[in-house]
Amino acid sequence: MAFFLSYFPSVIPANSGGGNLGLFSKGISDYNGSATGDERLVAIEFDTHCNDAWDHSSNHIGIDLNSIVSVASKDTDFPGRNLSSGLLMKARVTYHNDTMLLSVDLQIADDASYHISKNVDLRDVLPETVAVGFSAATGSFAELHQLLSWSFNSSGPEVSKKPPPPRTEVASAAAAPDRAHEGNEAHKQLHLPPQTLALVLVSGLLVLVLLLLIACNFRKVSRWCQQKHAREKQGCGPRRYEYCELVKATNNFDQQRKLGTGGSGEVYRGDDMGRLLAVKKLISIGNTDAEAQLLRRKEFQTEVNIISRLRHRNLVRLFGWCDSRKGLLLVYELIPGGSLDKYLYNTDSERSFSWNDRYRVIIGLGKALGYLHGEHSGTTYVVHGDIKPSNIMLDEGLNTKLGDFGLARLIDQGTEPPRTQTVMGTPGYIEPEFEKTGKRCKESDVYSFGIVLLEMVTGHGPLGLRLSQPLRTWVWEMYAQNRVLDAASATLRSERNDQQTERVLIVGLWCTQAARSERPTIAQAMGVLEHTHAQLPVLRPCHGQVTVAVGSLVESPGQSPIIASPILGELALVPSQIYTDTAPVSTTSRQLYSNAITTAEASTISNRSSVGSYTTCSASMTATTSLGVHQAPIGGNMQAN
């Protein structure tokens, strides 16, 4: 909502809804341009939504001079006393021609006040004749503004003298709605020079007693209402930090306080009056082009916007942020235990990382994802986009805290996920589908979750540097040979719970199915992990290009060898023929896995609507599968449907 002075008679520009406040056309806001000619105006905005392109917060007042980008602004960040609180508010806007100072004062519930001002010569900004009034607009969400009453007073010099810039004053008075008309009559007395007589005649209908009440009932802030008690208990939500505050908290970003370095920036330990902080300083963008700087700032605003909405015991809490010329910084709570990867791979750690510890971390991570994927809101969900051990923090009790939302996206339920122009993430944790389509969704996080599960049980990284093959492929082979428990780390075998271990490994494979349609939701995965009576899924281990072969087959006279394939079922081989599969094969008498003597390539079929069609293999045999009999000539294709 905004109070404005604009060209008379005022009109509503085309495409001026949403963040344009019904005042600025979309063309002006898109390019952060300035209005000219009859579109010139001055506006005082009472803004309750953050538009990333030009706003810095979702609760602020601002002065706009011919542009949607405010020349002066102030966050209404007093706890429980902001534009969204639904309390009585009074505003006063004044302009003095002698000082050329435009001032805005806002009072909320008699105990919180905000002030902004800007020096400006209105003769250079506005046309000679102006209209005065209020404007409001909404975008995807609904909100209610109630303006009980208002008044406008203007006084000028004597007629014989050359008039200086007019003094404009919009004042408020605390009055109940049933007294608004009485107040209006008292404020209708205007003393205007002839030059503004036309304005007075037209705007006389707008002259009322000023009492501004904005009662904003937001559908979009239902989440805020649910979190109100938590915020009051914590004192306040995330706040803006000054750069000098963070310099002091980190001892000027002392290298001895550096906690780590990631792809997006460095993290320092800080102390803010006894409260421990983790200050993430994003990599400098000063030497990059304007487009790259805009992209980085947009990613920064996205991360702040998303994390500010979230409250969960298994998520790292955001204390605030800093957006200054010297850098972009995020301020998190400091998690003293460090990240999960240090527990998995740091052999010098004094504390053992038992199976019970790992299982508790797994359950905590699943609960964090369940919250992001819909529990926090019925209309939107959050895709984290970069789930990996280094982004999973552990407190002193080894409780899970998922952090680093730099690649996260907030998506409306039922809508198509947006396309990412650049594939970003960590190799080994990125699902194959995202690399092809550039679209992240819930299933993308589920895939990364599955990789982390396999990593925590086996003790091997996703790229399988110590296995000579990817971790996922190696565990699939164990599963196909009905010995998936052998994939567990040797350090856990003396203390592990075999039932839990098997469930974690199978759920990990379930979550990393190549096709998104084959993966569970996080709720389904957690149902199997947390409930011992839940039935384990039966998986089809087709996982990409794998080279295997059949060797040392013993044939009975007059009988072809029978091979049980984990994908194609039982295959009756034509004598002297060789077949390949996407997983190790076994005879009816013993397990076989020999060196490769021929290769075949298995690929997931692109038609996701046909659930039964899941792989295409090159073969030269007659095959009997559990789904039917297919014959193909030598060198032909065989498809399991």
By C-alpha distance, which of 591, 584, 602 is closest to 638?
Answer: 602
* Residues 140/15, Cβ–Cβ less than 8 Å: no
Active site residue: 47, 64, 386, 445, which one?
A: 386
By C-alpha distance, which of 19, 61, 64, 22 is closest to 41?
Answer: 64
276 CB-side CA count, 13 A: 7
* Residues 53/29, Cβ–Cβ less than 8 Å: yes
Number of H-type helices and E-type strands within the chain: 15, 27
Phi, psi for residue 531 in degrees, rounded to 5: -120, 115
3-class DSSP assignment, residue 631? strand
Contacts for 362 with CB less than 8 Å, ≥ 6 apart = 452, 453, 456, 504, 529
Query: Letter for the amino acid at 83?
Result: L
3-class DSSP assignment, residue 223? helix
* Residues 598/553, Cβ–Cβ less than 8 Å: no
257-264 contacts: CB < 8 A, separation 24 or more? Answer: 260/339, 260/390, 262/390, 262/404, 264/404, 264/406
Q: What is the 3-state secondary structure (H, E, C) of 79-137?
A: CCECCCCCCCEEEEEEEECCCCEEEEEEEECCCEEEEEEEECCHHHHCCCCEEEEEECC
* Residues 80/116, Cβ–Cβ less than 8 Å: no
Alpha-carbon distances, residue 519 vs 152, 447, 515 (angstroms): 63, 8, 7
Q: What is the 3-state secondary structure (H, E, C) of 226-248?
A: HCHHHHHHHCCCCEECCHHHHHH
* Residues 89/112, Cβ–Cβ less than 8 Å: no
Q: Which residue has the tokens 């006040």?
A: 113
Mark whether 386 is an active-site residue: yes
CB atoms closer than 10 angstroms to residue 38: 12
Q: What is the 3-state secondary structure (H, E, C) of 413-463?
A: CCCCCCECCCCCCCCCCCCHHHHHHCECCHHHHHHHHHHHHHHHHHCCCCC
By C-alpha distance, which of 279, 254, 275 is closest to 266?
Answer: 279
Residues in the chain: 641
Query: Letter for the amino acid at 592?
Result: L
Q: Which residue has the tokens 């008690």?
A: 229
3-class DSSP assignment, residue 50? coil
End-to-end CA, the chain: 59
By C-alpha distance, which of 523, 302, 526, 292 is closest to 411?
Answer: 302
Cα 597 from Cα 548, distance rounded (Å): 8
355-370 helix and 442-458 helix, angle to the nearest 10 degrees: 180
433, two tokens: 């589908």
145, two tokens: 């503004």
By C-alpha distance, which of 342, 384, 381 is closest to 361?
Answer: 342
9, two tokens: 């008679």
Establish whether 401 is an annotated binding residue.
Answer: no
Annotated binding site: 281
Residue list for the binding site for ATP: 281
Active site residues: 386
